Structure 1
Amino acid sequence: MLLMPKRDWQWGYNEKHAVLSVSLGDDMEFLSPYGLKTLIPDAKQPLEFSVEHAKFYIDLVDRLSKSLSLNDALIVQIALNATAAHFLLKPQMPKSWFFKVSHQCVYSEVGKLLQLTTNEHSVLALVIESGLQASLMMIMSAECRLTDVKSLTQFETIKVMNDRLGPLPVGTRQVNAA
Structure 2
Amino acid sequence: MLKPNNSWTWYYDQKNDSLMLDLGEEMVFRVSIPSKHLIACAFSRCEFTVDDASTYQTYLESISGLDLSAPRKVELALNAVAASRFHKPMMPKSWFFSQQEGAYTPYNGEIIGLDTDFGSARYLVIENSGCASLCMLADVEPHVLASGKELEFCGIIKVMNDRMQAIHLDAELGLALVG
- TM-score (norm: length of structure 2): 0.86
Unaligned runs of 5+ in 2: 173-179
Pairwise CA distance, 1:170: 7.1
Per-residue CA distance 1:9-31 (angstroms, 9 max, x = gap)? 01111233322110001111011
Unaligned runs of 5+ in 1: 174-178
1:5 aligns with 2:4: yes
1:16 aligns with 2:15: yes
The one-letter amino acid paired with 1:129 is: E
Pairwise CA distance, 1:136: 0.6
Distance 2:43 2:50 in 1: 20
Pairwise CA distance, 1:124: 1.2
Distance 2:49 2:104 in 1: 31
Structure 1 window deviating more from structure 2 (95-104 vs 2-11): it is 95-104
CA contact (8 A) 1:104 1:166 kept: no
Corresponding residue of 2:113: 115
SS at match of 1:7: coil
Structure 1 window deviating more from structure 2 (92-101 vs 13-22): it is 13-22
The one-letter amino acid paired with 1:42 is: C
CA contact (8 A) 2:10 2:45 kept: yes
Look at both structures and tell me which one has the larger radius of gyration over its CA atoms. Answer: 2
Going from structure 1 to structure 2, the CA distance change for 1:169 and 1:54 (only over 3 Å counts) comes to closer
Per-residue CA distance 1:130-177 (angstroms, 9 max, x = gap)? 13211111012221222223221111111111000012377699xxxx
CA contact (8 A) 1:101 1:164 kept: yes
RMSD between aligned alpha carbons?
Answer: 2.0
SS at match of 2:126: strand
Corresponding residue of 1:34: 33
Distance 2:171 2:105 in 1: 17
1:54 aligns with 2:63: no
Q: Which has the higher strand share?
A: 2
Distance 2:170 2:47 in 1: 38
CA contact (8 A) 1:105 1:163 kept: yes
Pairwise CA distance, 1:70: 3.5
Distance 1:170 1:24 in 2: 30
Distance 1:71 1:153 in 2: 17
Distance 2:55 2:169 in 1: 27
